[in-house]
Amino acid sequence: MATHNLPPDPFRTRSLAAYGEDLRSGRVSAEAVTRAFLDRIEALNPRLDAFIHVAAEPAMKTARGIDQLLAGGTDLGPLMGVPVAIKDLFAVDGMPTGAGSRLDVEKDIGPEGSFIKSLKRAGCILLGKARTVEFALGAFNDTHPLPWNPWSPSLHRMPGGSSHGSAVAQAAGLSALAIGTDTGGSVRMPASYCGTVGFKASPELWPKDGLMPLNPVIDSLGTFTNTVADACYAYAALTGDAEPRSVAPRTLRLGKPVNYFFEGLESEVADAIDEALSRLAGAGVEIVPCEVPHVNDFQDFYLYGGVTSVVGYLGGERVKREYDLIDRYTRDRLKNAFDYSADRYVALYRGREAMARAATEAIRGLDGWVTPTTVMVAAPFEEIAKGPKRAEWIARNARNTRIFNVLGFCGLSFPLVRSDLPVGLQIAAPARTEARLLAVARTIEDVLGTPPKPDVSGFLEKKGRGEMT
Protein backbone atom coordinates (compact mmCIF):
# COMPACT_ATOMS: atom_id res chain seq x y z
CA MET A 1 0.00 0.00 0.00
CA ALA A 2 1.33 3.43 -0.87
CA THR A 3 2.02 5.84 1.96
CA HIS A 4 -0.63 8.31 0.84
CA ASN A 5 -3.31 5.62 1.10
CA LEU A 6 -2.71 5.07 4.82
CA PRO A 7 -5.68 6.48 6.72
CA PRO A 8 -4.63 9.05 9.30
CA ASP A 9 -4.63 8.00 12.93
CA PRO A 10 -8.06 9.17 14.17
CA PHE A 11 -6.56 9.92 17.59
CA ARG A 12 -3.21 11.42 16.66
CA THR A 13 -4.43 14.85 17.77
CA ARG A 14 -7.84 13.91 19.20
CA SER A 15 -8.38 13.02 22.84
CA LEU A 16 -10.77 10.35 24.04
CA ALA A 17 -12.99 13.09 25.48
CA ALA A 18 -13.01 15.03 22.19
CA TYR A 19 -13.86 11.84 20.32
CA GLY A 20 -16.84 11.32 22.59
CA GLU A 21 -18.06 14.82 21.78
CA ASP A 22 -17.51 14.33 18.05
CA LEU A 23 -19.27 10.96 18.10
CA ARG A 24 -22.32 12.25 19.92
CA SER A 25 -22.57 15.36 17.74
CA GLY A 26 -22.48 13.29 14.55
CA ARG A 27 -19.21 14.83 13.32
CA VAL A 28 -17.71 11.34 13.21
CA SER A 29 -19.08 7.79 13.33
CA ALA A 30 -17.81 4.76 15.21
CA GLU A 31 -17.99 2.82 11.96
CA ALA A 32 -15.69 5.25 10.11
CA VAL A 33 -13.17 5.42 12.94
CA THR A 34 -13.09 1.64 13.36
CA ARG A 35 -12.65 1.20 9.62
CA ALA A 36 -9.70 3.61 9.69
CA PHE A 37 -8.02 1.63 12.47
CA LEU A 38 -8.60 -1.68 10.69
CA ASP A 39 -7.15 -0.24 7.46
CA ARG A 40 -4.11 0.98 9.38
CA ILE A 41 -3.70 -2.44 10.99
CA GLU A 42 -3.92 -4.13 7.58
CA ALA A 43 -1.26 -1.81 6.19
CA LEU A 44 1.15 -1.66 9.12
CA ASN A 45 0.79 -4.86 11.12
CA PRO A 46 2.63 -7.09 8.63
CA ARG A 47 5.82 -5.37 9.79
CA LEU A 48 4.91 -4.09 13.23
CA ASP A 49 3.46 -7.44 14.36
CA ALA A 50 1.48 -5.77 17.13
CA PHE A 51 -1.61 -7.94 16.63
CA ILE A 52 -1.72 -11.72 16.60
CA HIS A 53 -5.47 -11.76 15.89
CA VAL A 54 -7.62 -9.06 14.31
CA ALA A 55 -11.38 -9.30 14.82
CA ALA A 56 -12.30 -7.16 11.82
CA GLU A 57 -15.85 -8.35 11.18
CA PRO A 58 -16.99 -8.35 14.83
CA ALA A 59 -15.40 -4.94 15.34
CA MET A 60 -17.24 -3.45 12.37
CA LYS A 61 -20.49 -5.06 13.48
CA THR A 62 -20.07 -3.57 16.95
CA ALA A 63 -19.21 -0.16 15.51
CA ARG A 64 -22.35 -0.08 13.40
CA GLY A 65 -24.35 -1.13 16.44
CA ILE A 66 -22.82 1.72 18.47
CA ASP A 67 -23.86 4.25 15.83
CA GLN A 68 -27.37 2.84 15.81
CA LEU A 69 -27.64 3.01 19.60
CA LEU A 70 -26.55 6.64 19.63
CA ALA A 71 -28.97 7.48 16.83
CA GLY A 72 -31.71 5.91 18.93
CA GLY A 73 -30.79 7.91 22.01
CA THR A 74 -28.91 5.22 23.98
CA ASP A 75 -25.60 6.33 25.49
CA LEU A 76 -23.40 3.68 27.14
CA GLY A 77 -20.98 6.15 28.67
CA PRO A 78 -17.62 7.87 28.09
CA LEU A 79 -15.85 4.98 26.33
CA MET A 80 -18.70 4.25 23.93
CA GLY A 81 -17.33 3.65 20.44
CA VAL A 82 -13.65 3.63 21.48
CA PRO A 83 -11.61 1.01 19.54
CA VAL A 84 -9.41 -1.03 21.90
CA ALA A 85 -6.54 -3.53 21.56
CA ILE A 86 -6.44 -6.35 24.13
CA LYS A 87 -3.32 -8.20 25.29
CA ASP A 88 -3.49 -11.88 24.44
CA LEU A 89 -3.61 -12.98 28.08
CA PHE A 90 -7.30 -12.11 28.36
CA ALA A 91 -10.10 -14.43 27.32
CA VAL A 92 -12.45 -12.66 24.90
CA ASP A 93 -15.54 -14.41 23.57
CA GLY A 94 -15.11 -15.28 19.91
CA MET A 95 -11.34 -14.71 19.88
CA PRO A 96 -8.52 -17.23 20.38
CA THR A 97 -6.44 -16.93 23.55
CA GLY A 98 -2.85 -18.07 23.23
CA ALA A 99 -0.96 -16.28 26.03
CA GLY A 100 2.02 -16.25 23.67
CA SER A 101 2.38 -20.02 23.96
CA ARG A 102 2.15 -23.16 21.86
CA LEU A 103 0.42 -24.84 24.80
CA ASP A 104 -3.36 -24.91 24.69
CA VAL A 105 -4.23 -22.70 27.66
CA GLU A 106 -7.75 -21.58 26.75
CA LYS A 107 -9.43 -24.01 29.16
CA ASP A 108 -7.01 -23.03 31.91
CA ILE A 109 -7.85 -19.35 31.52
CA GLY A 110 -11.55 -20.02 31.31
CA PRO A 111 -14.35 -17.81 30.02
CA GLU A 112 -14.31 -14.10 29.41
CA GLY A 113 -13.75 -12.24 32.66
CA SER A 114 -15.15 -9.22 34.44
CA PHE A 115 -12.78 -6.61 33.07
CA ILE A 116 -13.39 -7.48 29.42
CA LYS A 117 -17.13 -7.56 30.08
CA SER A 118 -16.85 -4.08 31.59
CA LEU A 119 -15.19 -2.83 28.41
CA LYS A 120 -18.03 -4.26 26.36
CA ARG A 121 -20.68 -2.79 28.66
CA ALA A 122 -18.95 0.57 28.25
CA GLY A 123 -19.41 0.31 24.49
CA CYS A 124 -15.78 -0.29 23.57
CA ILE A 125 -15.01 -1.86 20.20
CA LEU A 126 -12.51 -4.70 20.59
CA LEU A 127 -10.18 -4.70 17.58
CA GLY A 128 -8.35 -7.92 18.41
CA LYS A 129 -5.55 -9.50 20.40
CA ALA A 130 -2.14 -7.87 20.80
CA ARG A 131 0.99 -10.00 21.05
CA THR A 132 2.57 -11.00 24.32
CA VAL A 133 5.46 -13.26 25.23
CA GLU A 134 4.76 -16.71 26.61
CA PHE A 135 2.82 -16.48 29.89
CA ALA A 136 3.91 -12.79 30.06
CA LEU A 137 7.25 -14.10 31.32
CA GLY A 138 9.95 -11.83 29.93
CA ALA A 139 10.31 -9.76 26.77
CA PHE A 140 10.89 -12.12 23.83
CA ASN A 141 10.53 -15.73 22.69
CA ASP A 142 12.05 -17.86 19.96
CA THR A 143 8.67 -19.37 19.07
CA HIS A 144 6.80 -16.12 18.33
CA PRO A 145 7.71 -12.94 16.44
CA LEU A 146 8.75 -9.87 18.41
CA PRO A 147 6.77 -6.72 17.60
CA TRP A 148 8.75 -3.91 16.00
CA ASN A 149 9.29 -0.66 17.85
CA PRO A 150 7.33 1.96 15.86
CA TRP A 151 10.02 4.61 16.33
CA SER A 152 12.56 2.71 14.23
CA PRO A 153 11.38 1.51 10.79
CA SER A 154 14.91 0.88 9.51
CA LEU A 155 16.24 -1.12 12.48
CA HIS A 156 14.37 -3.69 14.56
CA ARG A 157 14.53 -2.27 18.09
CA MET A 158 13.16 -3.71 21.29
CA PRO A 159 9.58 -2.68 22.10
CA GLY A 160 9.80 -3.90 25.71
CA GLY A 161 7.77 -6.70 27.23
CA SER A 162 5.47 -8.41 27.87
CA SER A 163 2.61 -6.09 26.87
CA HIS A 164 4.64 -5.00 23.87
CA GLY A 165 1.92 -5.73 21.32
CA SER A 166 -0.44 -3.36 23.12
CA ALA A 167 2.23 -0.67 23.41
CA VAL A 168 3.17 -0.90 19.72
CA ALA A 169 -0.49 -0.81 18.69
CA GLN A 170 -1.11 2.32 20.72
CA ALA A 171 2.09 4.13 19.70
CA ALA A 172 1.60 3.33 16.00
CA GLY A 173 -1.98 4.56 15.93
CA LEU A 174 -3.58 1.12 15.58
CA SER A 175 -5.89 1.62 18.57
CA ALA A 176 -7.42 4.44 20.59
CA LEU A 177 -6.80 2.60 23.87
CA ALA A 178 -4.81 -0.54 24.57
CA ILE A 179 -4.98 -2.92 27.53
CA GLY A 180 -2.04 -4.72 29.08
CA THR A 181 -0.89 -6.38 32.27
CA ASP A 182 2.08 -5.53 34.45
CA THR A 183 3.80 -7.91 36.88
CA GLY A 184 7.33 -6.50 36.68
CA GLY A 185 7.10 -3.57 34.30
CA SER A 186 5.15 -5.10 31.44
CA VAL A 187 3.09 -1.95 30.88
CA ARG A 188 5.61 0.68 31.94
CA MET A 189 8.66 -0.74 30.15
CA PRO A 190 7.08 -0.99 26.66
CA ALA A 191 5.41 2.38 27.24
CA SER A 192 8.86 3.84 27.87
CA TYR A 193 10.38 2.29 24.74
CA CYS A 194 7.40 3.01 22.49
CA GLY A 195 6.65 6.54 23.68
CA THR A 196 3.15 6.07 25.11
CA VAL A 197 1.63 6.72 28.51
CA GLY A 198 1.62 3.41 30.40
CA PHE A 199 -0.53 3.30 33.55
CA LYS A 200 -0.28 0.35 35.95
CA ALA A 201 -3.00 0.11 38.56
CA SER A 202 -2.60 -1.43 41.99
CA PRO A 203 -3.09 -5.23 41.91
CA GLU A 204 -6.46 -4.94 43.65
CA LEU A 205 -8.08 -2.25 41.50
CA TRP A 206 -9.54 -4.32 38.67
CA PRO A 207 -10.67 -7.99 38.72
CA LYS A 208 -8.37 -10.54 37.11
CA ASP A 209 -10.71 -13.42 36.31
CA GLY A 210 -10.50 -14.56 32.69
CA LEU A 211 -6.81 -13.71 32.62
CA MET A 212 -3.71 -15.91 32.47
CA PRO A 213 -1.90 -15.11 35.74
CA LEU A 214 1.83 -14.72 36.19
CA ASN A 215 1.90 -13.93 39.90
CA PRO A 216 -1.67 -13.29 41.11
CA VAL A 217 -0.54 -11.37 44.19
CA ILE A 218 1.19 -8.64 42.17
CA ASP A 219 -0.34 -8.97 38.68
CA SER A 220 -1.85 -5.62 37.73
CA LEU A 221 -3.98 -4.45 34.83
CA GLY A 222 -3.01 -1.34 32.94
CA THR A 223 -3.72 0.95 30.03
CA PHE A 224 -1.78 2.47 27.17
CA THR A 225 -2.94 5.88 26.01
CA ASN A 226 -1.60 8.78 23.98
CA THR A 227 -1.79 11.20 26.90
CA VAL A 228 -2.19 11.25 30.66
CA ALA A 229 -5.46 13.10 30.13
CA ASP A 230 -6.71 10.06 28.19
CA ALA A 231 -5.48 7.75 30.95
CA CYS A 232 -7.47 9.79 33.48
CA TYR A 233 -10.54 9.68 31.25
CA ALA A 234 -10.33 5.90 30.81
CA TYR A 235 -9.67 5.35 34.52
CA ALA A 236 -12.76 7.33 35.48
CA ALA A 237 -14.91 5.51 32.93
CA LEU A 238 -13.75 2.07 34.09
CA THR A 239 -13.93 2.71 37.84
CA GLY A 240 -16.87 5.09 38.16
CA ASP A 241 -14.64 7.49 40.10
CA ALA A 242 -14.29 11.18 39.31
CA GLU A 243 -11.83 11.96 36.55
CA PRO A 244 -8.46 12.95 38.07
CA ARG A 245 -7.60 16.58 37.35
CA SER A 246 -4.38 18.56 37.42
CA VAL A 247 -3.27 20.31 40.57
CA ALA A 248 -1.07 23.37 41.03
CA PRO A 249 2.58 22.36 40.46
CA ARG A 250 3.67 24.26 43.59
CA THR A 251 1.54 21.88 45.71
CA LEU A 252 3.50 18.78 44.63
CA ARG A 253 6.37 17.13 46.52
CA LEU A 254 8.03 14.39 44.48
CA GLY A 255 10.79 12.19 45.86
CA LYS A 256 13.89 11.63 43.73
CA PRO A 257 15.66 8.52 45.05
CA VAL A 258 19.36 8.93 45.77
CA ASN A 259 19.83 5.15 45.81
CA TYR A 260 19.56 2.52 43.07
CA PHE A 261 17.24 4.03 40.44
CA PHE A 262 19.62 6.46 38.76
CA GLU A 263 22.55 4.04 38.51
CA GLY A 264 23.87 2.94 35.12
CA LEU A 265 21.73 5.26 32.99
CA GLU A 266 22.51 5.73 29.32
CA SER A 267 23.32 9.34 28.54
CA GLU A 268 20.11 9.86 26.52
CA VAL A 269 18.06 8.71 29.50
CA ALA A 270 20.01 10.72 32.06
CA ASP A 271 19.79 13.90 29.98
CA ALA A 272 16.05 13.53 29.32
CA ILE A 273 15.23 12.84 32.97
CA ASP A 274 17.44 15.69 34.21
CA GLU A 275 15.79 18.12 31.82
CA ALA A 276 12.29 16.97 32.80
CA LEU A 277 12.96 17.28 36.53
CA SER A 278 14.56 20.68 36.02
CA ARG A 279 11.49 21.91 34.15
CA LEU A 280 9.21 20.54 36.85
CA ALA A 281 11.24 22.27 39.56
CA GLY A 282 11.12 25.49 37.53
CA ALA A 283 7.33 25.23 37.45
CA GLY A 284 7.21 25.02 41.24
CA VAL A 285 7.27 21.27 41.91
CA GLU A 286 9.39 20.44 44.95
CA ILE A 287 11.88 17.66 44.11
CA VAL A 288 13.00 16.02 47.36
CA PRO A 289 16.07 13.75 47.64
CA CYS A 290 15.05 10.52 49.38
CA GLU A 291 15.85 6.84 49.81
CA VAL A 292 13.64 3.95 48.76
CA PRO A 293 13.91 1.02 51.19
CA HIS A 294 14.54 -2.63 50.30
CA VAL A 295 16.00 -1.98 46.84
CA ASN A 296 18.28 -4.99 47.31
CA ASP A 297 15.68 -7.28 48.87
CA PHE A 298 12.84 -7.67 46.38
CA GLN A 299 14.43 -9.73 43.62
CA ASP A 300 13.87 -13.19 45.11
CA PHE A 301 10.16 -12.54 45.50
CA TYR A 302 9.91 -11.39 41.91
CA LEU A 303 12.11 -14.03 40.31
CA TYR A 304 10.85 -17.08 42.20
CA GLY A 305 7.32 -16.05 43.10
CA GLY A 306 6.36 -15.63 39.45
CA VAL A 307 7.75 -18.83 37.99
CA THR A 308 6.49 -20.88 40.94
CA SER A 309 3.01 -19.45 40.41
CA VAL A 310 3.06 -20.28 36.69
CA VAL A 311 4.11 -23.87 37.30
CA GLY A 312 1.49 -24.18 40.02
CA TYR A 313 -1.18 -22.75 37.70
CA LEU A 314 -0.37 -25.05 34.78
CA GLY A 315 0.56 -28.05 36.93
CA GLY A 316 4.08 -29.32 37.39
CA GLU A 317 3.47 -32.65 35.66
CA ARG A 318 1.93 -30.93 32.66
CA VAL A 319 4.87 -28.55 32.36
CA LYS A 320 7.25 -31.54 32.35
CA ARG A 321 5.06 -33.47 29.90
CA GLU A 322 4.76 -30.58 27.43
CA TYR A 323 8.21 -29.18 28.06
CA ASP A 324 9.26 -29.28 24.41
CA LEU A 325 6.32 -27.08 23.41
CA ILE A 326 7.43 -24.32 25.75
CA ASP A 327 9.79 -21.69 24.43
CA ARG A 328 13.35 -22.43 25.50
CA TYR A 329 13.75 -19.04 27.20
CA THR A 330 10.56 -19.62 29.19
CA ARG A 331 11.78 -23.15 30.08
CA ASP A 332 15.02 -21.75 31.46
CA ARG A 333 13.04 -19.59 33.85
CA LEU A 334 10.38 -22.13 34.80
CA LYS A 335 12.87 -24.82 35.75
CA ASN A 336 13.86 -22.79 38.82
CA ALA A 337 10.38 -23.35 40.26
CA PHE A 338 10.85 -27.11 40.69
CA ASP A 339 13.61 -26.67 43.25
CA TYR A 340 11.82 -24.04 45.29
CA SER A 341 10.40 -25.33 48.58
CA ALA A 342 7.04 -24.39 50.08
CA ASP A 343 8.79 -23.00 53.16
CA ARG A 344 10.86 -20.59 51.08
CA TYR A 345 7.79 -19.64 49.05
CA VAL A 346 5.82 -18.69 52.17
CA ALA A 347 8.83 -16.80 53.54
CA LEU A 348 8.97 -14.76 50.35
CA TYR A 349 5.39 -13.62 50.77
CA ARG A 350 5.89 -12.68 54.42
CA GLY A 351 8.98 -10.70 53.49
CA ARG A 352 7.08 -8.93 50.75
CA GLU A 353 4.46 -7.72 53.21
CA ALA A 354 7.16 -6.19 55.41
CA MET A 355 8.77 -4.47 52.42
CA ALA A 356 5.44 -2.98 51.36
CA ARG A 357 4.82 -1.57 54.84
CA ALA A 358 8.27 0.00 54.98
CA ALA A 359 7.91 1.56 51.53
CA THR A 360 4.48 3.00 52.32
CA GLU A 361 5.95 4.61 55.43
CA ALA A 362 9.00 5.92 53.55
CA ILE A 363 6.90 7.69 50.91
CA ARG A 364 4.67 9.39 53.47
CA GLY A 365 4.52 13.14 52.87
CA LEU A 366 5.39 12.78 49.18
CA ASP A 367 3.08 12.70 46.16
CA GLY A 368 5.18 9.98 44.56
CA TRP A 369 8.65 8.83 43.68
CA VAL A 370 10.04 9.86 40.28
CA THR A 371 12.64 7.74 38.49
CA PRO A 372 13.63 6.74 34.97
CA THR A 373 11.29 3.97 33.81
CA THR A 374 14.12 2.16 32.05
CA VAL A 375 17.85 2.81 32.15
CA MET A 376 18.33 2.77 28.38
CA VAL A 377 16.55 3.62 25.16
CA ALA A 378 15.26 0.84 22.91
CA ALA A 379 18.18 -1.37 21.94
CA PRO A 380 18.58 -3.11 18.56
CA PHE A 381 17.00 -6.56 18.77
CA GLU A 382 19.92 -8.40 17.16
CA GLU A 383 22.35 -7.10 19.78
CA ILE A 384 20.54 -8.91 22.58
CA ALA A 385 18.66 -11.70 20.82
CA LYS A 386 21.07 -14.52 21.56
CA GLY A 387 22.94 -15.94 24.49
CA PRO A 388 23.30 -14.44 27.94
CA LYS A 389 22.56 -10.91 26.75
CA ARG A 390 18.84 -11.73 26.90
CA ALA A 391 18.78 -12.27 30.65
CA GLU A 392 21.17 -9.38 31.20
CA TRP A 393 18.98 -7.04 29.18
CA ILE A 394 15.79 -7.99 31.03
CA ALA A 395 17.42 -7.68 34.44
CA ARG A 396 18.85 -4.28 33.58
CA ASN A 397 15.75 -2.87 31.98
CA ALA A 398 13.25 -4.09 34.56
CA ARG A 399 15.38 -3.02 37.54
CA ASN A 400 13.40 0.20 38.05
CA THR A 401 9.94 -1.28 37.58
CA ARG A 402 9.90 -4.69 39.29
CA ILE A 403 10.26 -3.34 42.80
CA PHE A 404 7.01 -1.38 42.60
CA ASN A 405 5.11 -4.52 41.66
CA VAL A 406 6.53 -6.32 44.67
CA LEU A 407 5.55 -3.37 46.85
CA GLY A 408 2.02 -3.38 45.43
CA PHE A 409 2.35 0.23 44.26
CA CYS A 410 0.61 1.80 41.29
CA GLY A 411 2.73 3.50 38.65
CA LEU A 412 2.86 5.36 35.37
CA SER A 413 5.45 5.88 32.66
CA PHE A 414 5.32 9.29 31.01
CA PRO A 415 6.98 9.62 27.59
CA LEU A 416 9.82 12.09 27.03
CA VAL A 417 10.96 12.56 23.43
CA ARG A 418 14.10 14.64 22.93
CA SER A 419 15.61 12.96 19.88
CA ASP A 420 14.92 9.87 17.78
CA LEU A 421 13.92 7.50 20.58
CA PRO A 422 11.65 8.06 23.60
CA VAL A 423 12.55 7.87 27.28
CA GLY A 424 10.17 7.11 30.14
CA LEU A 425 9.74 9.11 33.35
CA GLN A 426 8.25 6.84 36.00
CA ILE A 427 5.97 8.00 38.80
CA ALA A 428 5.22 5.50 41.58
CA ALA A 429 2.77 5.81 44.47
CA PRO A 430 1.32 3.55 47.19
CA ALA A 431 -1.41 1.01 46.57
CA ARG A 432 -4.90 2.31 45.87
CA THR A 433 -3.79 5.91 45.30
CA GLU A 434 -4.41 5.75 41.55
CA ALA A 435 -6.50 8.91 41.44
CA ARG A 436 -3.78 10.97 43.11
CA LEU A 437 -1.06 9.37 40.95
CA LEU A 438 -2.97 10.26 37.79
CA ALA A 439 -3.56 13.82 39.02
CA VAL A 440 0.18 14.16 39.62
CA ALA A 441 0.98 12.74 36.19
CA ARG A 442 -1.57 15.04 34.57
CA THR A 443 0.13 18.02 36.20
CA ILE A 444 3.48 16.77 34.90
CA GLU A 445 1.96 16.58 31.42
CA ASP A 446 0.71 20.16 31.76
CA VAL A 447 4.27 21.28 32.52
CA LEU A 448 6.21 19.11 30.08
CA GLY A 449 3.69 18.98 27.26
CA THR A 450 2.37 16.11 25.18
CA PRO A 451 5.15 14.40 23.21
CA PRO A 452 4.77 13.55 19.52
CA LYS A 453 3.84 10.15 18.13
CA PRO A 454 6.20 8.35 15.73
CA ASP A 455 6.05 8.65 11.96
CA VAL A 456 5.12 5.11 10.90
CA SER A 457 5.08 5.69 7.14
CA GLY A 458 8.43 3.92 6.87
CA PHE A 459 6.78 0.65 7.82
CA LEU A 460 4.84 0.62 4.54
CA GLU A 461 7.95 0.19 2.43
CA LYS A 462 8.72 -3.49 3.00
CA LYS A 463 6.76 -6.71 2.90
CA GLY A 464 5.77 -8.06 6.29
CA ARG A 465 7.27 -10.82 8.39
CA GLY A 466 4.27 -12.16 10.27
CA GLU A 467 0.76 -13.32 9.66
CA MET A 468 -2.50 -12.64 11.45
CA THR A 469 -5.24 -15.14 12.06
What is the per-residue pLDDT across 306-334, written as a single tens digit (0 to 9) for each?
999 999 999 999 999 999 999 998 998 89
Q: Peptide bond preceding 413: is omega within 30 degrees of 0, i.e. cis?
A: no
Residue 182 has pLDDT above 50, yes or no: yes
Task: Find the catalytic residue in 87, 129, 200, 208.
Answer: 87
For residue 247, give every residue at least 6 positions away whose Cβ sits within 8 Å of its Cβ, in sequence order, or none: 439, 440, 443
Distance CA 61, CA 47 (A): 27
pLDDT (mean) for 137-161: 95
Please check whether residue 10 lies inside any domain of the structure: no
- Residue 342: which pLDDT band, with cuts at 50, 70 and 90? confident
Is position 87 annotated as part of the catalytic site?
yes
pLDDT (mean) for 337-343: 85
Please check whether residue 155 lies inside any domain of the structure: yes
Weakest-pLDDT range from 126-130, 136-140, 392-396, 407-411: 392-396
pLDDT at 341 (0 to 100): 82
pLDDT at 461 (0 to 100): 63
pLDDT at 462 (0 to 100): 55
On whether both 335 and 397 belong to a single domain, the answer is no
Distance CA 414, CA 412 (A): 6
Average pLDDT score, the chain: 94
pLDDT at 323 (0 to 100): 95
Please check whether residue 263 lies inside any domain of the structure: yes
The CATH number of the domain holding residue 31 is 3.90.1300.10
Q: How far is CA 298 from CA 184, 394, 401, 404, 435, in A?
A: 11, 16, 11, 9, 26
On whether both 141 and 196 belong to a single domain, the answer is yes
Report yes or no: 151 and 267 within 8 Å, Cβ to Cβ. no
On whether both 239 and 331 belong to a single domain, the answer is no
pLDDT at 466 (0 to 100): 43
Task: Find the catalytic residue in 152, 186, 192, 246.
Answer: 186
pLDDT (mean) for 5-28: 97
Please check whether residue 280 lies inside any domain of the structure: yes
On whether both 50 and 177 belong to a single domain, the answer is yes
pLDDT at 316 (0 to 100): 94
The gap from C-alpha 223 to its chain's centroid, in whole angstroms, comes to 6
On whether both 306 and 174 belong to a single domain, the answer is no
Please check whether residue 243 lies inside any domain of the structure: yes
Please check whether residue 444 lies inside any domain of the structure: yes
Q: Which of these, 159, 168, 156, 155, lies nearest to 140 by C-alpha position?
A: 159
Task: Find the catalytic residue in 29, 152, 162, 175.
Answer: 162
**Residues above pLDDT 90, as percent of the chain:** 87
Residue 463 has pLDDT above 70, yes or no: no
pLDDT at 418 (0 to 100): 83
Domain count, the chain: 2
pLDDT at 467 (0 to 100): 41
Q: 3-state DSSP call for residue 429? A: strand
On whether both 257 and 306 belong to a single domain, the answer is no
Residue numbers of the domain that contains 130: 16-291+366-460
Please check whether residue 407 lies inside any domain of the structure: yes
On whether both 330 and 204 belong to a single domain, the answer is no
Domain boundary among 315, 330, 352: 352
Is position 202 annotated as part of the catalytic site?
no
pLDDT (mean) for 292-301: 94
Is position 341 annotated as part of the catalytic site?
no
Please check whether residue 467 lies inside any domain of the structure: no
- Residue 52: which pLDDT band, with cuts at 50, 70 and 90? very high
On whether both 348 and 418 belong to a single domain, the answer is no
pLDDT (mean) for 372-388: 89
For residue 13, give every residue at least 6 positions away whose Cβ sits within 8 Å of its Cβ, in sequence order, or none: none
Weakest-pLDDT range from 176-185, 282-291, 299-308: 299-308
pLDDT (mean) for 194-221: 97
